[in-house]
Chains A and B, each alone.
Chain A
Amino acid sequence: MNTPLLKVESLVKRFGGLTATDQLSLDVAQGELVAIIGPNGAGKTTLLSQLSGAMFSDEGRILFAGEDISRLPVHRRVHKGLARSYQITSIFKSFTVLQNVALAVQSRSGTSMRFWAPVASERDLLEAALAIVTDVGLESVAERPASQLSHGQQRQLELAIAIATGPRLLLLDEPMAGMGREETLRMVELIHRLKQRFTILLVEHDMDAVFRLADRIAVLVYGRVIATGSVEEIRNNREVRQAYLGEELTV
């Protein structure tokens, strides 16, 4: 099929006088990993919020698998196969790691308007959750409350929860945020593996990670895509070097 899995058409989002997303268009093909880079405040998180449904756009359309989802609420988009992870870790701190993930599995396995049978007796949920917990490398802390995890582990859990909804497209907002070198490397490995199974839109600051993972890169500045291309093309693009990579170097 030639329709891209995600097609963003002339999206506009304004906050008062500020245009955080400015006539933004973008395609993500099935199976592709597209990275979005851009300086702080470029509008990357704002874009993901519109894609996930947490914010509605002022103009433009979002097509997912050919269907216009621009006006669907967050939870409906999730069931269509869109999942998001957060730049600022958003987990269930008093739940164990396994319960965090099981909660997301539960969401895609039938109705939760069930009031009688104990959820703890549903083996399917637990097994599916455990498989994902193991997949992201958290099986040794599966029984621990999420609040007790290290920052790096919480970032892994953040990702595991998104995966557990069974998405077709993963929207990842700076998964390496605040991580040390070691942890970053492990996260890159993990995303590299996930890439085989999911279509991914990755927002990331870490250039090494982006160059390693991306099939295609879009550069966002002041809410506009100023360039898209392969890793090589973006590396050599003068405008990009000025607007972004240059800034990166001097920071």
Chain B
Amino acid sequence: MTSTLVSISSKAIASAGDAAGKRSSLVPTVAGLGLLTALLLFPSIAAALDETFYVSFVTRILIFALAASSLNLILGFGGMVSFGHAAFFGGGAYIVGMLSIEVTRDIGLLPGTQSAWVAWPTTMLACALMAALIGAISLRTRGVSFIMITLAFAQMIYYLFVSLKTYGGDEGMNIGTRSTIGFGLSLSDDATFYYVVLALLVVSMMLFRRLVHSRFGNVIRGIRENETRMEAIGYDTYRYKLVCFVIAGSFAGLAGALLANQNTFVSPRMLDWHQSGLLIMMVILGGVGRLWGGVVGAVVILLLEEILSEYTLYWQFWLGSLLLFLIIVAPKGLIGLADRAFKGGLK
């Protein structure tokens, strides 16, 4: 009898009150596979239609999707509203850039490399360290103080790079070429680069999915829900939040490394608070604490930006208005909205 009870209950545990479960139905799986197929075929289709510009554009979306998803780990699942994610996103971009220009200009501050196999993991590690430092201090505070202190750290790094003339100061710097990956492949080819970015996003999302359903993820969600009680049942919440912050920082760093490669250019603009704000908007619009929230938000916002800027000079105004409208009709994000629509449709 116990075993039947338990089997009922494991189902219940899987269907966490918010993020998990429920979505284990067939429809999202089919939709996901369809989408993945479309993404895999996309560069060929674009080439056939002679619209290769769009390969770069979609690559950019995928990169922001990764950055926003990493933010969603702390903001969405952990309830830590960081307003400084650009420190890791832009920071990651700079690290790749700094390693790369050592090869061409030999500044002598760092060992230079253009190998993706070295530079990208190094970037993730460096961003993890930076997140550990920033997190260790910021996570001593909560609420508005946390928002302000993460913002302050990010702005410090922004001003640091504005003042570093070696790395182009406020004008930024060109990176000669994209990273090298060997195997006879070149990331300078936009389609190849696209596939590499897509693969990294897919792998990262699989890891995040594991993470949020793991013991650790359970603790993180518990902390968002009621941190005081989590302590009162024996969790050292600070430690868990810090680890979460570090993981998020390192994946934002990876996204930054990709962005630097995409643009073969880095500038302090990647580090400033607009960038952090943009990522927050993506997460909120897509769905806070929803696994795919960051992805959906990145797609919608960058698409809107692209479309609106074609039609009007005042696209920023219209984008802002549209986002405001969307958030009013879908306070739980677009995924939350889709959820409701889907459930209603079934009834």
* B interface footprint on A43-66 (CB within 8 Å = 1, 0 otherwise): 000000000101000000000000
- CB < 8 Å: which of A52, A73, A127 contacts B6? A127
> In the complex, which residue of chain A has the Cβ closest to the Cβ of B240?
A112
Contact B6 A143 (CB under 8 A): no
* Interface window among B145-153, B212-220, B314-322: B212-220
Chain A residues with CB below 8 A from B213, complex form: 118-120
Is A121 touching B17 in the complex (CB atoms < 8 A)?
no
Counting contact residues on chain B (CB < 8 A from A), the size range is: 35 or more
Q: Does A15 sit at the interface, judged by CB under 8 A?
A: no
What B residues does A111 contact at CB under 8 A? Answer: 215
Give the docked Cα–Cα distance between A145 and B235 (Å). Answer: 22
* Interfacial chain A residues near B13, Cβ < 8 Å: 96, 98-99, 102, 119-120, 126
The distance from the CB of A81 to the nearest CB of chain B, in whole angstroms, is 10
Asked whether A117 and B214 contact (CB < 8 A) given A94-B225, A123-B10, A143-B8, the answer is yes
Complex formed: what's the CA distance from A96 to B236 in Å?
A: 22
Identify which of B108-116, B226-234, B305-313 touches chain A: B226-234
Asked if residues A99 and B12 are in contact (CB atoms below 8 Å), the reply is yes
* CB of B9 within 8 Å of the partner chain: yes
Asked if A106 is an interface residue, CB under 8 A from chain B, the answer is yes
Q: Is the CB of B222 within 8 A of A95?
A: yes
B211 contacts A115, C-beta separation under 8 Å: yes
Number of A-B contacts (CB under 8 A): 138
Say yes or no: is A164 at the interface (Cβ < 8 Å to chain B): yes
Check if B216 sits within 8 Å of A113, measured CB to CB.
Answer: yes
Q: Least Cβ distance of B306 to chain A in Å? A: 36
B214 pairs with A96, CB closer than 8 A: no
A249 to chain B, nearest CB (A): 35
- CB atoms of A119 and B217 under 8 A apart: yes
Interface centre among B9, B211, B213, B230 (most CB of A within 10 A): B9
Specify which chain B residues have a CB less than 8 angstroms from the CB of A86 in the assembled complex: 229, 232
Given contacts A78-B232, A164-B233, contact A123 B6 (CB under 8 A): yes
Contacts A126-B9, A127-B2 hold; do A120 and B240 have CB atoms under 8 A apart? Answer: no
A123 to B222, CA, bound (A): 19
Set of chain A residues within 8 Å of B6, measured between Cβ atoms: 123, 126-127, 130
Q: B226 is contacted by which of A83, A92, A116 (Cβ under 8 Å)? A: A92
Shortest distance from the beta carbon of B28 to any chain A beta carbon, whole Å: 17
CA distance A99 to B218 in the complex (A): 9
- Give B222's nearest chain A residue, CB to CB: A103
Q: Taking the complex as formed, is A104 at the interface, i.e. its CB lies under 8 A from any CB of chain B?
A: yes
Give Cα distance in the complex from A103 to B17, angstroms. Answer: 13
Besides A90-B228, A114-B215, 10 other A-B contacts (C-beta < 8 A): A52-B232, A79-B234, A83-B232, A83-B233, A90-B232, A94-B225, A96-B15, A115-B217, A119-B217, A120-B10
8 smallest A-B Cβ distances: which pairs?
A94-B17, A78-B234, A107-B234, A143-B12, A120-B14, A120-B13, A114-B215, A104-B233
